[in-house]
Amino acid sequence: MPDLAKIILRNHKIDAVKRFHPWIFSGAIKEMEGEVKEGAIVEVYSDRGEYLATGLYNPSNIAVKILSFQKVSDIAQLFLEKFQNAYQLRQQIGLVDNPKTNCYRLINAEGDGLPSLIVDWYNGTAVIQAYSLALYQRLDLIVDCLKTIYADNLRAVYDKSAAVLAKSAHISENKYLFGQKTGDEVLESGHRFIIDWEKGQKTGFFLDQRENRAILAQYCQNKRVLNTFSYSGGFSVYAMQAGAALVDSVDSSHGAIDLTEKNIALNNLSQVPHQSYSADVFNFLRDCQEDYDLIVLDPPAFAKSIQSRHQAVMAYKRLNHQAFQKIRPQGIIFTFSCSQVVNEEHFQGAVMAAAIESARPVRILARLSQPADHPTSIYHSEGSYLKGLVLAVD
């Protein structure tokens, strides 16, 4: 590789890198050699000249995201190896050539050694979200890696980075980088879903809830289920298929409610009463008359940054309190948080505060998190964003 720009760290800031944490904060930088442009590949050194890592530079609070702790001689080769490793892991956990599930996350950012990159696989279509210009500038490389791995199974690659990069990078267009839209239907644990990666949220589907949906199904027989923040109806479809007595779905987005209804129709579930409501969940829980045996609370991330963490914790408390007031005795609540800055302890604290206020006996039956195709590096606890509790409420 041509000579790379160098970043020298302050002496007392090298410990985090030695512990393989993949982020270097701007405050850790002592000096940069030459002009380092946004998106550049940089080598990181101690001020004694010891090589520490190679990463991608972004002029922000997290200035370098590390790709490798060993010298890199060929960046294209490094990307390909990471894609191959990621694919092998999905093979190992049984998600490749699986007759019941043909959608999964292929690249989970730091968890697959490619910070700021998400690639989700939807039965032949790969949907990319690059969260930094550095990755966005390397989309061609990413498409080459996908072609090598999937060969003829790859029908299309859709770049959806504009949705997450637009403001900082002035990128306004999501587009197909390879192929074109063909099928938009996937199977997840044998259930059929239409995925709208072009207009839907994130890459089109919340793949991170796959295993939690299956756990929910175990609790649903003959139950009256309320699925709040339903998006494309994942939990609703599983609940109906598992023999729920009725299911109601609530989401503030009309598009989400349309998707929920399409997905329910696709699975031939007309024998189970289902109502969908395009409404604010807080208002719905306050006003609804129905008694529910099981409530799912899967809100969007209430906190996007550490500054809004307190407010987020208060919102989780309020939401869970409303559910505790609503649920029937011997009821079950599946409650989630996907805010990265709200850790398990904060979240459980918020849920406990809500339980105290409702003065009902509440027990934890299970702790939930993200599935194996959303791996996290043991050195980067920030990657474990999804947490959930299954609660029995008497």
Contact footprint for ligand SAH (CB under 6 A): 201, 206, 209, 229-232, 234-235, 250-253, 256, 280-281, 298-300
Reference 227, options 249, 260, 199, 258; nearest CA is: 249
Task: Annotate 38-71 with DSSP letters as a single string.
Answer: TT-EEEEE-TTS-EEEEEEE-SSSEEEEEEESS-
Q: How far is the CB of 17 from ligand SAH (least distance, A)?
A: 35
Which H/E stretch holds residue 265? helix 254-266
Which H/E stretch holds residue 390? strand 387-393
Cα 154 from Cα 144, distance rounded (Å): 11
Q: How far is the CB of 155 from ligand SAH (least distance, A)?
A: 23
Which H/E stretch holds residue 392? strand 387-393
Q: Distance of alpha carbon 337 from its chain centroid, rounded? A: 11
Q: Which is nearer to ligand SAH, 242 or 256 (CB)?
A: 256
Which tokens go with 359?
A: 């003065």
Q: Which is nearer to ligand SAH, 45 or 235 (CB)?
A: 235
Residues 22, 66 contacting (CB under 8 angstroms): yes
Q: Which is nearer to ligand SAH, 206 or 385 (CB)?
A: 206
Cα 217 from Cα 241, distance rounded (Å): 8
Q: How far is the CB of 159 from ligand SAH (least distance, A)?
A: 22
Q: Which is nearer to ligand SAH, 128 or 195 (CB)?
A: 195
Q: Which is nearer to ligand SAH, 79 or 229 (CB)?
A: 229
Q: How far is the CB of 134 from ligand SAH (least distance, A)?
A: 28
Cα 126 from Cα 121, distance rounded (Å): 5
Reference 122, options 225, 67, 192, 173; nearest CA is: 192
Q: How far is the CB of 250 from ligand SAH (least distance, A)?
A: 6
Cα 3 from Cα 361, distance rounded (Å): 64
Q: Which is nearer to ligand SAH, 116 or 212 (CB)?
A: 212
Q: How far is the CB of 368 from ligand SAH (least distance, A)?
A: 12
CA 44-9-117 angle, to 5 degrees, is 50
Q: Which is nearer to ligand SAH, 231 or 324 (CB)?
A: 231
Q: What is the dihedral of CA 137, 141, 142, 145, to 10 degrees?
A: -170
Q: How far is the CB of 208 from ligand SAH (least distance, A)?
A: 8
Q: Which is nearer to ligand SAH, 150 or 235 (CB)?
A: 235
Q: How far is the CB of 227 from ligand SAH (least distance, A)?
A: 7
Give residue for tokens 């890198």. 17
Residues 330, 362 contacting (CB under 8 angstroms): no
Q: Which is nearer to ligand SAH, 65 or 191 (CB)?
A: 191
Q: Which is nearer to ligand SAH, 280 or 394 (CB)?
A: 280
Cα 360 from Cα 392, distance rounded (Å): 10
Give backbone dihedrals phi and psi of 361, rounded to 5 degrees, phi first: -70, 125
What 3-state class would DSSP assign to 239? helix
Cα 230 from Cα 279, distance rounded (Å): 11
Q: How far is the CB of 329 from ligand SAH (least distance, A)?
A: 25
DSSP state for residue 22 in the 8-state scheme: S
Q: How far is the CB of 378 from ligand SAH (least distance, A)?
A: 27
